[in-house]
Amino acid sequence: MAVGIFDSGLGGLTVLDAVQRRLPDVPFVYLGDNANAPYGVRDAQDVYDLTTAATQRLFDAGCDLVVLACNTASAAALRRMQEGWVPPGKRVLGVFVPLIEALTERRWGDNSPPREVAVKHVALFATPATVRSRAFQRELAFRAIGVDVEAQACGGVVDAIEDGDLILAEALVRGHVDALLRKMPEPKAAILGCTHYPLLQDVFQTALGPGVQVYSQADLVAESLADYLNRHPGLIGPGRESGYLTTGNPGRVSDKATQFLRRRIEFVAA
Ligand code: DGL
């Protein structure tokens, strides 16, 4: 009963890498729905249908706990899944809340009323579906007051990364940062609200300048998962099998994953 990590494609590997480093004794099963990526241009029903199918596949692989390492799925499907789909004894978590807890200087799981925080101007970079859902702004409003968020829908970036075209991805990121800075010239913090984007974190940081603190999710999710498993140790079973599943072409996905994580990763068909 390993812990499941799900993404539409390769982006969740940034989270997987961090959780494996933080929790080296926990077996993880990764599932990338590469055949259906990107999710960020799909409507909410489509994202819900794909995300529930992928999560069920991870339950079938022996996971009791699945982390949606995909902001688009977390934004468009998680709440609905938790309210009516997740079977008894299973849990599904997203990647939004740990990031917002860090931004709003809260301890994991602190649900006290919203309060003033130091960071007042926040740039959010995410997929079109995540931006459209306004889920990030909603979660932030539960925890902080007076924070101005300017969101930039970064069309094309996930496709370019999934295709391995990093030159195009970098050019698109620079264009999206420019567009954001025209709307909000002096952000204090920037959120990389898509798990693919940490693969281009340096490009974001350079384009934004040294005065902007860039928050990316991987380490924050790893820390909050460690805390969660500490509180719910029963959700990791005795199973020792880690693995990498993809709905795409395993050879092609393995090569790209190996290139991104700089260690050999072998995917098999989901
Ligand atoms: N990594 C996914 C996310 O965090 C990418 C979504 C997509 O496939 O467009 O949003």
Q: Taking the model in full, what pTM does it have?
A: 0.93
What is the 11 CA–ligand 1 centroid distance (Å)?
A: 7
| pLDDT, position 81 | 97
CATH code: domain 2-96+218-269 is 3.40.50.1860
Q: Tell me the C-alpha distance between 33 and 192, whole Å.
A: 21
Domain layout of the chain by residue ranges: 2-96+218-269, 105-215
Distance 127 CA to ligand 1 centre (A): 6
> Coil, strand or helix: which one is 163?
coil
Partners of 68 in beta bridges? 6
* Ligand 1 atom 8: residue of nearest CA: 38
In order along its 270 residues, the chain shows pLDDT tens digits of 689 999 999 999 999 999 999 999 999 999 999 999 999 999 999 999 999 999 999 999 989 999 999 999 999 999 999 999 999 999 999 998 888 988 888 876 778 888 888 889 999 999 999 999 999 999 899 999 989 999 999 999 999 999 999 999 999 999 999 999 999 999 999 999 999 999 999 999 999 999 999 998 999 999 999 999 999 988 876 567 789 999 999 999 999 999 988 899 999 999
What is the predicted pLDDT for the residue at 157?
97
CA of 238 relative to ligand 1 center, distance in Å: 31
Q: What is the pLDDT of residue 238?
A: 56
The pLDDT, as a whole number, for residue 111 is: 80
Rounded CA-CA distance 162/249 in Å is 12
The pLDDT score that the predictor gives to residue 233 is 85
For 217, half-sphere exposure in the C-beta direction (CA atoms, 13 angstrom radius) is 30
Q: Are 59 and 239 in contact (CB under 8 A)?
A: no
Is residue 42 within 8 A of residue 24, CB to CB? The reply is no
CA-to-CA separations, 56 to 26, 27, 140, in angstroms, rounded = 20, 18, 29
Q: What is the pLDDT of residue 145?
A: 92
Q: What is the pLDDT of residue 1?
A: 62
* pLDDT at position 102: 87
Which residue, by CA, sits nearest to atom 2 of ligand 1?
A: 70
CATH architecture label of 105-215: 3-Layer(aba) Sandwich (3.40)
Q: Which residue numbers are catalytic?
A: 70, 194
How far apart CA 162 and CA 197 sit, in angstroms, is 11
